[in-house]
Amino acid sequence: MTEQQLQIGFIGGGNMARAIIRGLLQSGHDAGRLYIADPSEEQQAVLAGIDSNLNIFSSNMEVAGISEVLVLAVKPQIMGMVLEELATGTRPDTQLMMSVAAGIPLSSIQKPVDPSAPVVRVMPNHPALVNAGISVLIASDSVSEDQKRQAEYVAAVVGQALWIDDESMMDAVTAVSGSGPAYFYLLMETMEECALQLGLPAELARTLVKQTAYGAGLVAAGSDSAFSSLRASVTSPGGTTEAATNVLEQAGIRDIFRKALTAARDRSIELGLKQA
Ligand SMILES: NC(=O)c1ccc[n+]([C@@H]2O[C@H](COP(=O)([O-])OP(=O)(O)OC[C@H]3O[C@@H](n4cnc5c(N)ncnc54)[C@H](OP(=O)(O)O)[C@@H]3O)[C@@H](O)[C@H]2O)c1
């Protein structure tokens, strides 16, 4: 059987589930092989608007009963409750569970179902919404090579998919790529405010910031050069860029980021311990 023939279920049909569903449809996966459970009628209507052939349910158990790959896409706070409900409805002998929930360890997903159930934990990020995400995956010991391919197929429809084999790295991954888009949005927000203060009209300020972030991202993504070399290539000695970056360096931007990412990593560890 090819990955495109898989019956894929989603528990929770919110933003992340919809991004993956759209990615699967765009990659040619048949809508009739996708099953989504969400209690919200509003969400069900949004899902039906994506493709009328999607199978939409309000019952988690029905979706768990049909799916070969079951993607758990609910908020971390309700994952424990959802897993308790699914404990008798999943089929660890033939089914792969994939969790996209931030901070929930593999063992916490396995515990209510079967301590040796095959589970893949995925840390996706926000650009998955435009198929430009990056997902980091870790598999429990019981996940077969076939199931790894299945998990990678699902994750890769919304961007790059990378495997790690040490779950303790997931907290640092969360701090870098999981929370990372928000750091760039904060920078863009700040640059937009500054552009207004420097006298630019709102529309121009927003467009300049957006296109600059997009262009710099594209250049960096397509280059093997170190980020410091890219920066050097647009920084003339004594010029405008150097005037700005000197201010940022003197204000301790590197130390600020070190503290910020460490705080995100530590919070991820703390949330994981609460869920364990
Ligand atoms: N969005 C991101 O950028 C991102 C990035 C990395 C990881 N994630 C992870 O992805 C997961 C989902 O996040 P999201 O942003 O997609 O959240 P979301 O938009 O709130 O989606 C969660 C969905 O689950 C539904 N739901 C609530 N209770 C449920 C239940 N008992 N059974 C089944 N479905 C239920 C919610 O319905 P209601 O709206 O009615 O409550 C909602 O539609 C989270 O665990 C998050 O950590 C998200």
Partner residues linked to 135 by β-bridges: 161
Residue 159 Cβ inside 6 Å of ligand 1? The answer reads no
CB 42 within 8 A of CB 69: no
Q: How do strand 119-123 and strand 133-139 relate by DSSP bridges?
A: antiparallel
Q: Whose CA is nearest to atom 24 of ligand 1?
A: 12
- Residue 4 has a pLDDT of 87
Residue in 75, 83, 84, 183 to alter for ligand 1 test, most ligand atoms within 8 A of Cβ: 75
DSSP letter at 135 equals E
- DSSP element (H, E) containing 159: strand 159-163
Tell me the two tokens of residue 81: 């409750």
Query: What is the pLDDT tens value at each position of the chain, 276 positions in all?
Result: 799 899 999 999 999 999 999 999 999 999 999 999 999 999 999 999 999 999 999 999 999 999 999 999 999 989 999 999 998 888 888 899 999 998 899 999 999 999 999 999 999 999 999 999 999 999 999 999 999 999 999 999 999 999 999 999 999 999 999 999 999 999 999 999 999 999 999 999 999 999 999 999 999 999 999 999 999 999 999 999 999 999 999 999 999 999 999 999 999 998 877 766
Amino acid at 41: E
Distance 246 CA to ligand 1 centre (A): 42
3-class SS of residue 123: strand
Of residues 17, 16, 15, the one with CA closest to residue 35: 17
3-class SS of residue 95: coil
Rounded Cα distance between 18 and 36, Å, is 10
Report domain extents, the chain: 3-173, 178-271
Residue 54 Cβ inside 6 Å of ligand 1? The answer reads no
Distance 73 CA to ligand 1 centre (A): 5
Give per-residue burial for 50-68: e unless 16+ CB within 10 Å, then b.
Answer: beeebbbbeebeebbbbbb
> Are 3-173 and 178-271 the same fold in CATH?
no
Burial class (CB in 10 A: 0-12, 13-18, 19+), 181: middle
The third-level CATH classification (topology) of the domain covering 3-173 is: Rossmann fold (3.40.50)
3-class SS of residue 248: helix
Domain 178-271: give its CATH architecture: Orthogonal Bundle (1.10)
Rounded Cα distance between 85 and 167, Å, is 26
Residue 70 Cβ inside 6 Å of ligand 1? The answer reads no
CB 32 within 8 A of CB 95: no
Distance 15 CA to ligand 1 centre (A): 7
Tell me the two tokens of residue 51: 């493709």
